[in-house]
Amino acid sequence: MDRLLQNVQYLKGVGPQRSKLLAKMNIHSIFDLLWHFPRTYIDRSVLQPTHQLVTGDQAAIIGTVLTTRSSRSRRGMTIISAAIESQGITIQAVWFNQPFMTDILKNGRKIWLSGKVRNVLPPEIHVSEYEMLESEESVPGIVPVYHTTEGISQKMWRSLLERVLKTYLGDYPEILDQSQRQHYELCTIQEALANIHFPTEGSAYQQARRRLAFEELLLFQLRLRSLAVEDNKLTGLVHKEKDDLVQKIRGGLSYQLTPAQERVIAEIFNDMESPWIMNRLLQGDVGAGKTVVAALAMVKAVSSGYQAAFMVPTEILALQHGQALTNILYGSGVKLELLTGSTSAAERSRILELTHRGEIDILVGTHALIQEGVAFKKLGLAVIDEQHRFGVRQRAALLAKGDHPDTLIMTATPIPRTLALTAYGNLEMSVIDQLPPGRIPVKTKSLPYKARLQAYNFVKQEIIKGRQAYVVCPLVEESENVDLQAAVNLHDELRTGIFKEYEIGLLHGRLRSDEKEEIMNRFKVGDIKVLVTTTVVEVGVDIANASVMLIEHAERFGLSQLHQLRGRVGRSDLQSYCILLADPHTEESRQRLRAMETSNDGFYLAQQDLIIRGPGDFWGVRQHGLDQLKIADLTKDLQLAEKARQCSREIDPLSLSKYVHARFPMVEGTAMN
């Protein structure tokens, strides 16, 4: 393995200057070069008859260079044009901004080229790939095409990889024995690397891709397992209740916990009572009852003599959780405070002092919790809601407020099971997989904008029945660049139009904290009948009497975001509705709307979202380390990921630490790194 980690600069044909170009592509070692896989392949044995060229098609031909000339466009672009004789027809081959081609295109030389056909009378090809040949017999078959940077040609890449494979392939570690390879139906790693770069046929490529995708997912799992091993070496806090506070609060609940909630609470409590740090992910669909589970976990910490912190991504969510927890804790004596960016200086000073003295049991807040000056006397449990909205350093900053506190991470964005296990291999996972009894599925309908008046008339009928409604817009104010309905403008339109006899509220992230709180309270008690809002209500807001969620420009929202917004209604025994006003122009947006109409199952929708958008957009940029995958595709390789996870249990992650860290030097988005 050590030979593979040598600096690429010392490889023949690279040197200091070229190594700087490779470094721009995050290629620093021989190992990195081997994992720089082709982005596509060209079969150069497939040639188009010159007399059958079609404008707009990609074509590949072989010919002889007759003449070459150079010119400049009006914008100063260099244009190289060569007359190529092929099958008795003269074709103009064109290169843009490549003046060095005049030194390469020598009259009488054979050339293979491919590119887009721009004209057929006379024939003209704008060249994307080319290679000078010694003879027509020297045309290779399948050749790789790599992502590259200025200064490194495709020919150079191929020469470089041929040299690396010839010199270093024997040093590459095979971590699976023959029985494992047979069990998982995999070729050797040496065969895989050779055939991914220079496949001789399609089946060789498929086998190579399968092995390398498996290898990548396996290494990712081992990286996460190594983090888990490191975490488990740390002795945590043992939460042993000193009173009957948990039972007292459970007994005061106005509803029965579901079996799924009871199961999850038992899993969390068992972790908290162990001598090791708890590091647990709690998943649950919208309305599944995660907040009360988190509340009881925090109460257990308080009953054991510790403090708890509850960090959420938005101020409105902090207000909602603060209110929900206050209701759950009513009469218990547990002291709870709220800290956000809008907290006044005097109030903040008071809260910080009480927190430092240990007189606040539970502190709920936004990023304000991790600011300088926030110090706990004895932080025992950190709860992080909608964790994907926080960066690694932000989560670590909260945990640093205590001495190895237990961690409970929550998400209302359902994640397909195998994907969750792949992304969070160093976390234990709990899932609340049932909703409280009495919930009626929300009826969802997508309508075109020509039916907008019909949609708002339906909302009005629900208000006449005594219900309330949300209307969600993508923007706060009109933009000259984006033709979307803005919340401010829509609020004015509705309060002076169809809903002029009703109280219409406006809620968005630019309001002050006290303004947001006042609006939400007025909506909760029923003074406000229609709340025009942005996606600040996406999570956490719980108004039982709200029966309609109308979303303007629904085609602009992601599937999981639409599902989260829909989750603001249907939170009682009332029949509720979600209306998606949309004029979709892409198949992807049409797929999202169809999925919303056909299912209320957040886990099913998460799977569809993954298929539609792919794992990168599903997670967001650099959220979970999965963006580092070079060949595995979690929209297609979930079964392979499950097999890789199973295989990872058979291997000691620390025994392969050098290899694992070479491939995944850093994994972002995990809980403890």
| CA neighbor of 212 nearest in space, from 651, 640, 631 | 631
pLDDT average, residue stretch 187-201? 94
Q: Is the confidence at residue 192, as pLDDT, over 80?
A: yes
Please state, in angstroms and rounded to a whole number, the distance separating the CA atoms of residues 212 and 218: 10
Task: Specify the CATH number of the domain 443-599.
Answer: 3.40.50.300
| CA neighbor of 397 nearest in space, from 375, 423, 364 | 375
pLDDT tens digits along 54-83: 888 888 899 999 999 999 888 888 999 999
Contact 115, 126 (CB under 8 A): yes
pLDDT tens digits along 17-42: 888 999 989 899 999 999 999 988 88
Query: What tokens appear for 189 in the block?
Result: 């790693």
Tell me which amino acid residue 671 is: A
Q: Are strands 406-411 and 530-533 parallel, antiparallel or unpaired?
A: unpaired
Contact 232, 276 (CB under 8 A): yes
Q: Are strands 406-411 and 279-284 parallel, antiparallel or unpaired?
A: parallel
Q: State whether the Cα torsion 462-468-473-476 is positive or negative.
A: positive
Q: Is the confidence at residue 387, as pLDDT, over 70?
A: no
Q: Give pTM, 2 decimals.
A: 0.64
Please state, in angstroms and rounded to a whole number, the distance separating the CA atoms of residues 171 and 166: 11
pLDDT tens digits along 292-339: 999 999 999 999 999 999 999 888 788 888 988 999 999 899 999 999
Q: In the chain, what is the straight-line distance between the N-terminal and C-terminal CA atoms, in Å?
A: 25
Confidence band, pLDDT 50/70/90 cuts, at residue 621: very low
Q: Is the confidence at residue 484, as pLDDT, over 70?
A: no
Q: Are strands 336-339 and 110-120 parallel, antiparallel or unpaired?
A: unpaired
| CA neighbor of 243 nearest in space, from 326, 358, 332, 331 | 332
Looking at per-residue pLDDT, the higher value among 534 and 577 belongs to 577
Query: What tokens appear for 317 in the block?
Result: 């969510």
pLDDT tens digits along 125-141: 999 888 888 765 555 67
Angle (CA) 253 257 263, round 5°: 135
Question: Under DSSP, is residue 306 helix (H, G, I), strand (E, B) or coil?
Answer: coil
| Chain centre to alpha carbon of residue 331 | 41
pLDDT tens digits along 425-471: 567 788 888 877 777 889 999 999 999 999 999 999 999 999 999 99
Contact 579, 456 (CB under 8 A): no
Confidence band, pLDDT 50/70/90 cuts, at residue 671: very low
pLDDT average, residue stretch 626-655? 81
Place of tokens 């992230």: 509
pLDDT average, residue stretch 402-428? 74
Query: What tokens appear for 313 in the block?
Result: 């991504």
Render the burial of 539-560: b for 16+ CB within 10 Å, e for the rest.
bbbbbebbbbbbbbbbbbbbbb
pLDDT tens digits along 209-228: 999 999 999 998 888 777 66
Question: Under DSSP, is residue 86 helix (H, G, I), strand (E, B) or coil?
Answer: strand
Contact 129, 88 (CB under 8 A): no
Q: Is the confidence at residue 667, as pLDDT, over 90?
A: no
Query: What tokens appear for 13 in the block?
Result: 């044909």
Contact 445, 580 (CB under 8 A): yes
Q: Are strands 89-96 and 123-133 parallel, antiparallel or unpaired?
A: parallel
| Fold topology of 45-139 | OB fold (Dihydrolipoamide Acetyltransferase, E2P) (2.40.50)
Q: Is the confidence at residue 655, as pLDDT, over 90?
A: no
Say yes or no: do domains 45-139 and 245-273+289-411 share a fold: no
What 3 state SS string does 159-200 have?
A: HHHHHHHHHHHHHCCCCCCHHHHHHCCCCCHHHHHHHHHCCC
- Classify the phi-psi angles of 553: left when phi > 0, otherwise alpha if psi is within -120 to 50, otherwise beta: left
Query: What tokens appear for 292 in the block?
Result: 């009360």
Residue 631 is classified by DSSP as: S
Give the pLDDT score at 388.
58
Distances (CA, A) of 386 to 267, 291, 318, 570, 596: 20, 12, 12, 21, 21
Please state, in angstroms and rounded to a whole number, the distance separating the CA atoms of residues 518 and 271: 39
pLDDT average, residue stretch 554-577? 87
Looking at per-residue pLDDT, the higher value among 151 and 505 belongs to 505
Q: State whether the Cα torsion 145-147-148-149 is positive or negative.
A: positive
Render the burial of 218-246: b for 16+ CB within 10 Å, e for the rest.
bbbbbbbbbbbeebeeeebbebebeeebb
Please state, in angstroms and rounded to a whole number, the distance separating the CA atoms of residues 405 and 380: 5
CATH fourth-level superfamily of 245-273+289-411 = P-loop containing nucleotide triphosphate hydrolases (3.40.50.300)
| Chain centre to alpha carbon of residue 547 | 31
Place of tokens 């295109």: 105
pLDDT average, residue stretch 360-388? 89
Contact 336, 361 (CB under 8 A): yes
Q: Is the confidence at residue 231, as pLDDT, over 60?
A: no
pLDDT tens digits along 80-97: 999 999 999 999 999 998
pLDDT average, residue stretch 570-587? 90
The full set of domain ranges for the chain reads 1-39+142-172, 45-139, 245-273+289-411, 443-599
Q: What helix, strand, coil percent values describe the chain, rounded to 5?
A: 40, 20, 40
